[in-house]
C-alpha cells in the first residue's frame, strides 16, 4: 500500500492516535515511544518522503495499514 505525502505534524498526530508519545526532539527529528517499548524517529519536515516514512514506521514496528487508518 502506497503512503501519501504527509507533513511532520500529520505524522505526529497519527502516531499520537496510535498511543505513541513524543520523548525527544532535536533539530528536525522527533523521537516517539510507545508504552510497550517500541520507539521510532522521524524527520519533522513540511513534507516527509514516502520511503523515509516507511522506514521509520518499520523501525517502530508500526503496521502501515494501521497507520493509514488513523490519519
Bridge partners, 42 (sequence order): 30
What band does 51 get if pLDDT is binned at 50, 70 and 90? very high
What band does 12 get if pLDDT is binned at 50, 70 and 90? very high
Residue 1, pLDDT score: 73
Transcribe 11-71 into DSSP letters: HHHHHHHTT-EEEEEETTEEEEE-TTS-EEEEE--SSB-HHHHHHHHHHTT--HHHHHHT-
Bridge partners, 30 (sequence order): 25, 42
Residue 2, pLDDT score: 86
pTM of the model: 0.93
- For residue range 17-43, list pLDDT tens digits in order: 999 999 999 999 999 999 999 999 999
Domains (ranges, CATH) in the chain?
A: 8-69 (3.30.920.30)
Bridge partners, 39 (sequence order): 33
Amino acid at each position: 500500500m502506497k503512503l501519501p505525502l504527509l507533513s511532520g505534524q500529520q505524522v505526529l498526530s497519527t502516531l499520537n492516535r496510535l498511543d505513541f508519545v513524543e520523548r525527544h526532539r532535536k533539530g528536525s527529528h522527533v523521537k516517539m515511544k510507545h508504552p510497550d517499548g517500541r520507539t521510532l524517529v522521524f524527520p519533522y519536515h513540511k513534507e516527509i518522503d514516502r520511503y523515509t516514512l516507511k522506514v521509520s514506521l518499520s523501525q517502530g514496528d508500526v503496521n502501515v495499514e494501521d497507520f493509514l487508518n488513523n490519519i
